[in-house]
């Protein structure tokens, strides 16, 4: 049962990471579009949002890695 809970957590963390990476990519595209149109204030805002989303994605990916390590430890103990 513990393994299933950890596995579910890993899946949830990976899903959240993927969602944030997707948001980061979209915001980066919006930043580039605004930069091309010389709307620098909006470009900077979207670039910052993209950066923030990438940082959140990295955090969730690291959590997923940590949970995966925990799952491996549990499996090795059995």
Sign of CA pseudo-dihedral 8, 68, 25, 48: positive
DSSP assignment letter at 37: T
Residue 58 structure tokens? 């990295």
pTM: 0.84
Per-residue pLDDT at 68 exceeds 80: yes
Confidence (pLDDT) at 66? 93
- Give the mean pLDDT of 55-65: 97
Cα 36 from chain centroid? 27
> Domain segments of the chain: what residues?
2-77
Predicted pLDDT of residue 11: 94
């Amino acid at each position: 049962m513990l393994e299933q809970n950890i596995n579910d957590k890993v899946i949830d963390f990976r899903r959240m990471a993927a969602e944030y990476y997707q948001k980061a990519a979209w915001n980066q595209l919006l930043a580039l579009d605004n930069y091309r149109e010389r709307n620098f204030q909006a470009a900077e805002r979207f670039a910052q949002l993209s950066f923030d989303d990438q940082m959140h994605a990295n955090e969730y990916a690291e959590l997923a890695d940590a949970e995966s390590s925990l799952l491996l430890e549990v499996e090795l103990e059995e």
